[in-house]
Amino acid sequence: MVERKFSLYDIEQFIREAGAERITEDAVTQMEREIGKLAEQITNKAMSYAKHAGRKKLIRTSDILLAGKPEQAEYQSRPANLRPNASTTKSTSRTEI
């Protein structure tokens, strides 16, 4: 027998709240698998953050929140000192008299 990690009914309701009117049973079970994978990834990251903080068995809310955030390197914008500045660029147009 397959062990359920999440309620299929709750997953179906979540998908309906997102706007779907009709959902196949296969879609709901696949969503359960995907949620399980994400939960496992977040848990593993949170465990590594807790161990880094010197806690072997205690995972705190802050560990979960930190683990659930996307990698910052992917979302960093260009630093302000590297952006072109209009006042420092030379004008290329000439006016003749």
- Where exactly are the structural domains of the chain? 8-68
Residue whose C-alpha is closest to residue 59's, from 51, 50, 68: 50
Q: Pinpoint the alpha helices (H) of the chain.
A: 8-17, 25-52, 61-68
Q: Which CATH number fits domain 8-68: 3.40.50.720, 3.40.50.150, 1.10.20.10, 3.30.1300.10?
A: 1.10.20.10
Residue 40 · residue 67 · CB < 8 Å = no
pLDDT in tens, the chain (97 residues): 557 778 999 999 999 999 999 999 999 999 999 999 999 999 999 999 999 999 989 999 999 999 998 875 544 555 555 555 555 555 565 655 5
Q: What is the pTM of this model?
A: 0.63
Q: Would you say how long the chain is, in residues?
A: 97
